[in-house]
């Protein structure tokens, strides 16, 4: 509960700050915004007595929003994709990032900032992962689906929270991944896991100072059918510090807590000089 409270306080503070700003005008029709970035890191050593290993790495990312508004209807969509590789001297090429996620949220206005809503979330990866010669995951294995009705509070495309008290969650894996034990929360010998619970998802994006933008994506989920007190957490923080139109320093951090998959927090951080193209 302490972990959930800390995240909630952080997101609440950001929301209060945003409410003090002038309301954004929303026009009917499509509002599209996206960014493609390539992060590059490289280290080289030659007769360096302190030690070090030559390495090179790169991560290609896509973050694309395509939202639609018409009268009392709103339909928000976000596509996130990233893939990274690293090469350390005398070692094989290794994967450092692999993410493919689609979020879709539709709402019908109820009053002012409130909407009756329904949402879909899909997550998977794009390539296989091998550990000591054993394949531990691949495309669509695992694949995560969440779907449910609820209520959406939306101040603008950059500030919204969705509450879905009856959310179905489905986890799919290839059967060979559970031959020797459970995998990604799916029991041994099975290829899927179904859950029914409550979901809360929040989104906040702002420019905190000139040429520095911050994006927060928070998803909470509680499974009514098993250990409802153990809330799953998926939090992503993206910070972009622009140098000019095409160059920026990018920081991306993700923290996941899912006790069915792993007893503890899973964390990922990617930082580097980015080549960006906005559209």
The pLDDT of residue 205 is 96
Decide if 48 is inside a domain. Answer: no
Decide if 83 is inside a domain. Answer: no
Give the span between the Cα atoms of 60 and 67, in whole angstroms: 23
Which residue has 């294995």 as its token pair?
Answer: 141
The pLDDT of residue 227 is 93
Q: Phi and psi at residue 142, in whole multiples of 5°?
A: -85, 160
Query: Per mean pLDDT, which range of 150-159, 220-229, 241-250, 270-279 is the poorest?
Result: 270-279
Enclosing domain of residue 176: 2-29+63-77+99-278
The confidence band for 245, taking pLDDT boundaries of 50, 70 and 90, is: confident
Decide if 50 is inside a domain. Answer: no
The confidence band for 261, taking pLDDT boundaries of 50, 70 and 90, is: confident
CA nearest 63: which of 205, 243, 199? Answer: 205
pLDDT in tens, 48-106: 777 788 889 999 999 999 999 999 999 999 999 999 999 998 888 899 999 999 999 99
CA nearest 246: which of 270, 276, 223, 268? Answer: 276
Give the span between the Cα atoms of 11 and 208, in whole angstroms: 15
Give the span between the Cα atoms of 59 and 273, in whole angstroms: 10
Query: Per mean pLDDT, which range of 146-150, 194-198, 271-275 is the poorest?
Result: 271-275
Please count the structural domains in the chain: 1
Give the span between the Cα atoms of 58 and 45, in whole angstroms: 19
Give the span between the Cα atoms of 180 and 266, in whole angstroms: 23
CA nearest 195: which of 139, 263, 148, 161? Answer: 148
Decide if 53 is inside a domain. Answer: no
Give the span between the Cα atoms of 119 and 100, in whole angstroms: 17
Cβ pair 126, 98 in contact under 8 A: yes
Domain at 179, CATH number: 2.40.160
The pLDDT of residue 12 is 47
Which residue has 């969509």 as its token pair?
Answer: 77
pTM of the predicted structure, to 2 decimals: 0.85
The confidence band for 26, taking pLDDT boundaries of 50, 70 and 90, is: low
Q: Compute the Cα dihedral for 42, 48, 50, 54 and give only its sign.
A: positive
CA nearest 119: which of 78, 75, 149? Answer: 149
Cβ pair 147, 119 in contact under 8 A: yes
Decide if 126 is inside a domain. Answer: yes
The pLDDT of residue 146 is 97
Decide if 202 is inside a domain. Answer: yes
pLDDT value at 111 more than 90:
yes
The pLDDT of residue 25 is 52
The pLDDT of residue 6 is 47
pLDDT value at 137 more than 80:
yes
pLDDT value at 9 more than 50:
no
CA nearest 67: which of 101, 102, 106? Answer: 106
Eight-state DSSP code of residue 138: B
Decide if 212 is inside a domain. Answer: yes
Give the whole-number percent of the chain exceeding pLDDT 70.
91
Q: Give whole-number Cα distances, 153 to 71, 178, 186, 200, in Å.
A: 16, 40, 33, 11
Decide if 168 is inside a domain. Answer: yes
pLDDT value at 7 more than 80:
no
């Amino acid at each position: 509960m302490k972990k959930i409270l800390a995240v909630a306080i952080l997101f609440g503070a950001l929301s209060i700050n945003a409410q003090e700003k002038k309301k954004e005008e929303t026009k009917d029709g499509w509002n599209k915004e996206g960014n493609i970035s390539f992060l590059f890191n490289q280290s080289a050593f030659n007769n360096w007595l302190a030690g070090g290993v030559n390495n090179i790495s790169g991560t290609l990312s896509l973050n694309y929003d395509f939202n639609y508004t018409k009268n009392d209807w709103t339909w928000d969509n976000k596509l996130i994709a990233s893939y990274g590789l690293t090469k350390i001297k005398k070692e094989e090429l290794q994967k450092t990032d692999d993410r493919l996620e689609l979020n879709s949220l539709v709402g019908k206005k109820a009053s002012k900032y409130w909407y009756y809503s329904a949402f879909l979330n899909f997550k998977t990866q794009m390539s296989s992962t091998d550990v000591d010669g054993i394949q531990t995951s691949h495309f669509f294995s695992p694949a995560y689906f969440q779907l449910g009705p609820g209520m959406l509070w939306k101040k603008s495309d950059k500030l919204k929270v969705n509450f879905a008290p009856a959310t179905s969650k489905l986890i799919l894996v290839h059967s060979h991944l559970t031959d020797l034990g459970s995998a990604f929360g799916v029991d041994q010998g099975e290829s899927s896991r179904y859950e029914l619970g409550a979901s809360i998802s929040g989104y906040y994006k702002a420019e905190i100072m000139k040429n520095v933008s911050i994006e927060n994506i928070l998803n909470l989920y509680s499974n009514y059918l098993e250990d409802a007190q153990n809330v799953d957490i998926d939090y992503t923080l993206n910070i972009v510090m622009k140098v000019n139109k095409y160059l920026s320093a990018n920081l991306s951090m993700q923290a996941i807590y899912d006790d069915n998959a792993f007893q503890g927090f899973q964390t990922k951080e990617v930082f580097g000089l980015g080549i960006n193209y906005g559209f």
